[in-house]
Each structure stands twice: as C-alpha cells, then as structure tokens.
Structure 1
C-alpha cells in the first residue's frame, strides 16, 4: 500500500482497530489519525495523531477536513453475557446512531471513502452445510448486534447515494489472531491444559478469518477503485470443522488434542437441556461464506494460511501464559 492521504481509524484500541493501526504505521507515506473513547487507552502511537471522543458526540475537535479515508472499526460488539434490559437499543445507540453521526460529519467534511467493518451476523447465524452466504444475498440478522450492523449498513448506503461519499462494507466471519478473546481463547486454554473435549466427531464447516487477512483486505480497500459502494465477505478461504480446528490448534500449541468422538446430535441435545443453544450452534453448526466476489473484484487472495495464523495465535497465547 502506498496511500499518501490521511487515514482515520476509529476503535483504534480494539482487536481489529489496533491491528489496522499497526499495519498503517509501517507505511511511511500514510498520515494516520486514531479515535479512541478513553484518554487512558494504551496505543502504539508512534507517528499517529490520537483524538478522544465517542461516536455519539459532535466531533468538532476532530480534524476530519483533511482526511481522505475513514476506517470505522469502533462498535458495541457482540456481548456474551448481556446485562442491558433492552440490548437492541444499546446496540443501536453506538452501532447505528453513532456510526451514522460520524459518517454524516465525515461526508460533510469531504472525506472520500468510509470503510465500515460490519459483521457476518448481518447475513445470519448459520448456513446449511455447503451452502455459503453470498455478499449480496438478502440480509437475515437474528440477534440485536446483527440487526444494528444491518441498519448501519442501510444508513451508510443511503448516505452514499445522498452525498457521494464512497462506502465500503466488510463483513468478517469470526476473527482470530494474537490476543483473541472469548470462545477462541477458552478453546486454547482447554487444549493447553490437556482437557479431554467431547468434540472429536463434528462434521460441520465454518469460515474463519485470521486478523492478518482481515487487515490486509481493509488496507486493500483504502484505494481500490472497484471497492466503491460494495459489500464484501472475508474469510481465510479454507473452511474447517470444529474437530479439525481443535486438532490444528493443538498442533500449533504443541499439545495432543484429546478429542472424544461424541456425536453432534448428542451434544446439541445436551446443550438444549442446559439452555446453551447459541454455543451449540457455534460448535456444531455450519457457517460458511463465499469470498469469490472479494477475490475477483479486488484481485485479492488471503495472504496468510490457516496454519500460519494459528501458529502466530498460539505463540502469543503461550508467551502470555509464561508471564
């Protein structure tokens, strides 16, 4: 990437945003600005102009006038243990109203392109085996987070039509990489400890995306003319069953995978009894995406293989364990 204009990254302290920032800092010609919510946020900010604001505010103090491309990673993300009495209202506040408030101000300031990091949850929660989601298929979000991301996409498309700002929408699948949290981190902990797991006979297919591959696509979309007003799905280009993923992650960790061949129907029934259907869907169900449009329109190929990405993720995990 040899982009020479100013690039603004929101959510710059998050899992994806910080990786985007790190990648942009390697380009001496790029002038990078970052938005964070909290002045105490730790960032690797060498050569980066950092601004503090929430998306819902007026961004008067933020110099959007000179910005060429805005990469919007900030969001209220999918919450595992939701505390809000009205989750959809909370997601809408940040992901819809905040995003569109920011995008309107960006358009008014003459920002050329707005890259929006959305979610595969806009497409839905799962696919039949071998029937992947397509980028331009009908949206079918099933949870408040997915609904909020869909509504933000709709608002951004309307803004593009109204103002001429170029909007690029990227919907990642599950993102993993060094510093990953939630279920993926738990999976690594179990494997590292040698816990026997009942996931040795799951024949689903799931598309994942390595953080490095997602960042590479985001950077590709900064300047690519064919990305204008398009929606892209992104994955590693290799779908894995839960069983395969655990085996390959164990190899990356240098541990044996102690996987018991419990039939998936039995796991699903047990999960239903425990009220854990959502977790069971993630472990036993399929969610595949077709990235043909991304490959063809942008001439893009995921640069990092699954095994390479798993090794990098495992290395970081093991380093943290030894501290």
Structure 2
C-alpha cells in the first residue's frame, strides 16, 4: 500500500445498497488497481439506514478503511470533516441530508440517478410517472444547490443495471425463467437495450470522483450517461439469460390484452406485485444510451454483456 499520501476521506450515502456494496469492494481493492492513478488510500465514512456495523480497518492488502455509521449520527461528526462524497442512495433522499453535508464541508459530490428519468417519464403507469418526476426534480435541486453553495456536483445516470445476483432487473427475469421455464414476450420484443454491470457503475462513480478531485476542469457535463459496451434487443438479452442458466430459450409471444391480464395475475405473487403492463410495452422501446461523454471526460470503459454464474441467482 502506498503510505506516502494521507488517506482521502470519502463520505458515502447508500453504502449498503446494491451499487454501494460494489463500490466498497472496489475501494477495498489493493493498490495495483489500474483505476487509481496514482494509487490512493481511502477512509470511507459509510452511512446506512441499516443496523450499525463494525468498522473495517485497512490491512496491507486493502486500499480503504471503512467506518460504518447510522445516518442519524451524521450531526455528531465534526464540522468540515468530509469534503468528498459519493451518493448511491436514491437521489431524492439527498435533499434531507444536504444541510448536514454542507456543514461537514462538502466540496465535491458524485450522485447516482438513472436513465429511467428519460425512458419512464411518460409511462402509462401513473406510479412510474410520479416516481420519475420526483427523480427529475431531485436531480435539478441537487445541481441548483451545488451552484448556489459552491459545491462541485455531478450526476451519473446508468441504464439497466445487473450483476452479482442482486439486481432487480435481470435477476428477476432469471427467477421467472427458473420458476416457469418460459418467458412471455410482447410482440417482437426488439427494443434496444444496453445493460451495464454493477461493478462498472461502481467504477464510473470512482473515476468521476477521482477526476473531480484531481482534474475538475476535465468534467464538462453536469450529467453523464452510463451504459454497457454492447447494444442488443430485449429478446436477445433474455435469450442470454436462458443460456447462462443452461436452459433452452423458450418464449411465449402474447398479444397486448393477454399480456395485461398475465401481469395482473402475476401481481398476486409477492415477488411480482410491482410489475406493471408498462414493463411489457417497453420490451419494444429503444432504451440504449451512449456513454461517450463519460468515456471522454473520465475514461469510462465498461465491459461487454456476458453473463456469468455469479450474475444470476441459484435455482
């Protein structure tokens, strides 16, 4: 480990979340990590609404010292003690902590949102519409607050996130296939997708933060889109899930009225109670996004879409 420089203190909101866990694993990787140039040591103040955890001390093979803290203890920290932040909790929760983050001396913040604010903002589902408008408003409040407070703020919007058998996207499709051996499709299901692995989302958070810290002039955008390297249609994406599960791809094409009925029936199963007909309609909607700005401004280079056993749940 490089001990020439003092560790960088980094506050993290949403540390126990799906992306948060991947980010902590990345930060704990050893100094040979090619993402960090030069290698950095980190002192992570990991905030979570979940039960308090024991602090993890750095070791010769780790690059981060993690201190877990319940969110409600944030006011007990000394003023101007955390200048750097990565927020991977839902972006609309950021407003309730903004005053404390400012008291703690926030100078630069990278926050996670989603391309869903574009793809679902006109959803037929009123609940989805409401949530997306909430996210858009939260994004704008965050950026406006940064401008008025003199805080460097950047938003990362990933596409469909998968990986580590913990996402709510491909993992749920896999469970449906494991349970029924077949997957229903609406029409041709040819809408474009560009899924991104959770480890690449974590990588982007760290790369963007590092650029904000070392070369802020290189970050030309307030909002960056994150996506995977490969673009494929929805049906192809699901076919790869069948392949990863070592099952033959079996699809059941359904007309829209029948699909609506099927979704309503699925809602009686607790795991699928949040599924909506709008999800089926999006099978034929293009939801791929370029990540060229992220590549240009902070060197983001995601992997291609190739599922492994650890990305999907065990049967």
Displacement, 1:99?
1.0
Q: Does 1:100 align with 2:95?
A: yes
Q: What's the counterpart of residue 209 of structure 1?
A: 196
Q: How far, CA to CA, are the matches of 2:194 and 2:128 in structure 1? A: 18
Question: Are the structure 2 counterparts of residues 259 and 124 from structure 1 closer, same or farther at C-alpha, using a change threshold of 3 Å?
Answer: closer
Question: Are the structure 2 counterparts of residues 99 and 256 from structure 1 closer, same or farther at C-alpha, using a change threshold of 3 Å?
Answer: same
How many residue pairs match? The answer is: 274
Q: How far, CA to CA, are the matches of 1:254 and 1:273 in structure 2? A: 29
Q: Does 1:16 align with 2:19?
A: yes
For residues 86-127 of structure 1, the C-alpha deviation after alignment (integer angstroms, 9 at most, x for no partner) is xxxxxxxxx54x412323332333222111111212223289
Question: Are the structure 2 counterparts of residues 228 and 105 from structure 1 closer, same or farther at C-alpha, using a change threshold of 3 Å?
Answer: farther
What are the ranges of 5 or more consecutive residues in structure 1 without an aligned counterpart? 76-94, 128-140
Q: Tell me if structure 1 keeps the 8 A contact 2:121–2:129.
A: no
Q: Tell me if structure 2 keeps the 8 A contact 1:64–1:111.
A: no
Of 158, 165, 168 in structure 2, the residue corresponding to residue 172 of structure 1 is 158
For residues 218-276 of structure 1, the C-alpha deviation after alignment (integer angstroms, 9 at most, x for no partner) is 1101121223762011110322212111221222222221234x2xxx44342345664
The TM-score, its normalising length taken from structure 1, stands at 0.74
Q: What's the counterpart of residue 168 of structure 2?
A: 182
Matches for 1:1-323 after TM superposition, within 5 Å: 4-27=7-30, 29-39=41-51, 47-54=65-72, 59-63=74-78, 65-75=80-90, 95-96=91-92, 98-125=93-120, 143-192=129-178, 195-199=181-185, 201-224=188-211, 225=216, 226-227=218-219, 230-260=222-252, 262=253, 266-272=254-260, 276-302=276-302, 304-307=303-306, 310-314=307-311, 317-318=313-314, 321=315
Q: Tell me if structure 2 keeps the 8 A contact 1:118–1:149.
A: yes
The TM-score, its normalising length taken from structure 2, stands at 0.76
Q: How far, CA to CA, are the matches of 2:281 and 2:16 in structure 1? A: 30
What are the ranges of 5 or more consecutive residues in structure 2 without an aligned counterpart? 32-40, 59-64, 265-275
Pairwise CA RMSD of aligned residues?
Answer: 3.0
Q: Tell me if structure 2 keeps the 8 A contact 1:69–1:111.
A: yes
Q: Secondary structure at the match of 1:295?
A: helix
Structure 1 outlier segments of 4+, above 6 Å: 41-46
Q: Which moved more, 1:109-118 or 1:184-193?
A: 184-193
Q: How far, CA to CA, are the matches of 1:41 and 1:258 in structure 2? A: 44
Q: Secondary structure at the match of 2:175?
A: helix
